[in-house]
A and B are shown apart, each in its own frame.
Chain A
Amino acid sequence: MLERGSAVARADDEAARRRRSVALRLRLALLRCSSIVIFFALWAAFSFANARYLKFFNPVLMPSPLDVLHTGVELVESGELQRDILASLSRVLQGFGIAAFVGVALGMAVGRSRLLESLVDPMLELLRPIPPLAFLPMMVLWFGIGEASKISFIAYAAFFPIFTTTLEGIKYVDPLLLRAAASLGASRRDLFRYVVLPAATPAIITGLRLGFGLSFFVIVAAEFIAADSGLGYLINDARTFFLVSQMLLGAAVIGLIGFGFNRLLRLLEARLLRWRKTAWS
């Protein structure tokens, strides 16, 4: 009887705890929304005050959120925005695709062979500290101002984080798991396929996410220098004509796309790494 009573009490506690945690999560979600609202409110207020009273800048240089939205609508209607988004996205996806393929494949090969590691690693360590942007003008000279220079530049920049994290993931597999698998009869191939690869998957996904972020980071710079389309071009072109709303719009669109893709990759990660997620929840 006593035990039953305490079990009921425990269930009550559990329910109360769950209610509290739901309330807490709601409050936090509300706070997150207001954070964004506050940001736009501050921006609008400053733009309005600048135009009417403060006169810090020429009002043309400090558009309000609404002005930016208005420019967005105009650019969508003229078809220009869609064209630029597609141009940038296609470059990013191609460059990132190459980097992902080469980075993961090379990382795996190097992670499995100490010989290959001694051969490849110093070379990459030599190049890694140089900001990829330093090579951009050279790539334009080599590959011209067409698509090839931008795609190869993105591929180069995104390669490093993908390669490094894949290599680490492959190298630092728990030796105990390898022993367990070997004593269950796994061949070298089995070990790679059924132990090393799944053990390295979290690291590889992290690398891909970093690489993708970097792709977006550098595409804008590449399009500043040599392009006649793309979101970087949109921003740089607007600079020439003092179209500040268009510049802000370009930045905002890049932000939104980056956010969207990061979300997508997170979802993919949650799906692939279900086993790990359950440990945290």
Chain B
Amino acid sequence: MNQVPREVVAAARTKIRIEGVSMTFDNGVTALSQVNLELAENSFTCLLGPSGCGKSTLLGMIAGFVQPTAGRVLVDGEQVSGASADRGVVFQEYALFPWRTAIGNVEFGPLVRRLPRAQRRSIALDYLALVGLAGHESKYPSELSGGMKQRVAIARAFANSPSVLLMDEPFGALDAQTREILQEEMLRIWQRERKTVVFVTHSISESLFLADRIVVMATKPGTIKAVIDVDLSHPRERTEPGFIALERKVKHMVREEVDKLGVT
């Protein structure tokens, strides 16, 4: 049930279209140059590349936080001009409101949608339970561990029922064990509530574990180097020969880009 046949994925309509997008900052640095990309509805795409390849900038453009200096980003055929509740974002730094409890954070989306209090609460409780935080509702972010904070942030994004979920190195600040657990949880939730996910990471193993498609990005300037369809079935096992072979292939690609950056 959790494996959508490939024909269906291929036939799915385009959700996000990136057309000739470039980004040059005020200081003259070109972060992205002529990027074209189409993402199918309900697909899981990883943007993979070393630091400075512009992957987070690209994600910020889909979110509507930054505007490209050339080209345009379309979601459902409409040009993105600002942030929207239909495009949820999960940040590496969690970005939880420190003055709100866990449930208060998850309630934020329903709150600004002016849902009645009881409904807000029941939505928030459901999603906190979904990420395994039942019983921690009234804790403040300062009382939660990094992994728990990111669970709250994921619940907060899902509770708003966006059709697009943008994740900017969400597990980058977590320890290796927590990271793997959250990757599995993320897949479990995504299989329950399909959304078009764009997931930025610099971890090859993470992208291979999660994604339908991996977009490998080149540096200086940021462009798309390769698009790899990951045909491994879920749940994926990191020790399988297929996984390891693909990992080796992607590693070479990324290494070339890292080498281009020189000594880092």
Contact = CB atoms under 8 A, between A and B. Distances in A.
A177 B95 contact: yes
A195 interface: yes
Interface in A5-37: none
A180 B113 contact: no
Nearest to B166: A183
B148 interface: no
- Looking at A184, A187, A198, A279, which has the most chain B CB atoms within 10 Å of its CB? A184
A277 to B, nearest CB: 9
Interface residues of B, number: 32
Contacts of B85: 183-185
B82 to A, nearest CB: 7
Contact of A275 (B82, B87, B89, B142): B142
A279 B142 contact: yes
Nearest to A189: B112
A180 B95 contact: yes
A141 B85 CA distance: 58
A54 interface: no
A195 B98 CA distance: 10
Contacts of A195: 97
A82 B143 CA distance: 47
B112 A194 contact: yes
Contacts of A187: 112
Contacts of B63: 179, 183
Nearest to A195: B97
A257 interface: no
Interface string B60-79: 00011100000000000000
- Looking at A183, A194, A199, A279, which has the most chain B CB atoms within 10 Å of its CB? A183
B91 A185 contact: no
A190 B87 CA distance: 18
Interface in A196-213: 198-199, 201
A276 B160 contact: no
Taking chain B's interface residues, is the majority helix, strand, or loop, or is none over half, making it mixed?
loop
Nearest to A274: B140
Contacts of A274: 140
Given A180-B89, A194-B112, A198-B99, A185 B84 contact: yes
Taking chain A's interface residues, is the majority helix, strand, or loop, or is none over half, making it mixed?
helix
Contact of B97 (A177, A179, A182, A273): A177
Contacts of B96: 180
Interface string B98-119: 1111000000110111000000
A226 interface: no
A201 B97 CA distance: 13
A275 B83 CA distance: 28
Contacts of B213: none
A186 interface: yes
Contacts of A279: 98, 140, 142
Contacts of A184: 85, 88, 108-109, 112, 156-157, 160
Contacts of A1: none
Given A183-B87, A185-B84, A275 B95 contact: no
Given A181-B108, A185-B112, A275 B98 contact: yes
Contacts of B82: 182
Contacts of A118: none
Interface of B: 63-65, 82-85, 87-89, 91, 93, 95-101, 108-109, 111-113, 140-143, 156-157, 160, 166
Which 5 pairs from chain A and chain B are nearest by CB? A185-B85, A182-B83, A279-B142, A180-B95, A183-B89
Given A194-B108, A194-B111, A276-B98, 13 more contacts: A177-B97, A179-B63, A179-B91, A181-B112, A183-B84, A183-B166, A184-B109, A185-B112, A185-B113, A273-B99, A275-B140, A279-B98, A279-B142
